[in-house]
Amino acid sequence: MAESRLPAIGLFALIQYDVSATMEQMGWTHSFKHETAEGFSIDLAQPELKLAVEVDGPSHFLKDVSSGENVVNGSTRFKTWQLRSLGWTVAHISFLGWNHTSESERRQLVAAKLGELGVSVSATSWH
């Protein structure tokens, strides 16, 4: 019997939409898939304030062979460095920290990540 599955990229896109929807519900309005003047694609952004949230899926990580830990790869680190050098404040939400968590835990994660951007939202507020 054939098993129906979303391709990995399709499943990851659902996580991006879920993060975006959670942020909107918490009162953080943003652009989805914003492209900067320099050609960088940012998952979730407030361009006028240069605030960016990158939702990092499996392609953003490598497995450290000595520890077995997932570590952020070089291209993701470099993009973050480039955005910051252009004046952007950047926070990251990993699919590893999003999957298998409750809605309450996700809201707490979003509040913490937005806090890294200097944005104060309550994990219990809904808009």
pLDDT tens by residue, 88-124: 999 999 988 788 899 999 999 999 999 999 999 887 7
The number of angstroms, rounded, from the C-alpha of 118 to the middle of its chain's C-alpha atoms is 16
Strands (E), 1-127: 31-35, 41-46, 51-56, 61-63, 70-72, 89-94
For 35-93, the pLDDT digits (tens) are 999 999 999 999 999 999 999 988 898 999 999 999 999 999 999 999 999 999 999 99
How far is 5 from 8, CA to CA, in rounded Å? 9
Q: Which domain holds residue 101?
A: 17-116
Residue 73 lies in a domain: yes
Tally of domains within the chain: 1
Residue 85 lies in a domain: yes
Residue 84 lies in a domain: yes
pTM: predicted TM-score of the whole model, two decimal places: 0.84
DSSP state of 53: E
Residue 12 lies in a domain: no
| Local structure of 112: helix, strand or coil | helix
Phi, psi (rounded to 5 degrees) for 87? 100, 5
How far is 53 from 55, CA to CA, in rounded Å? 6
> Edge-to-edge strands of the sheet including 51-56?
31-35, 41-46, 51-56, 89-94
Q: What is the domain-level CATH number for residue 55?
A: 3.40.960.10
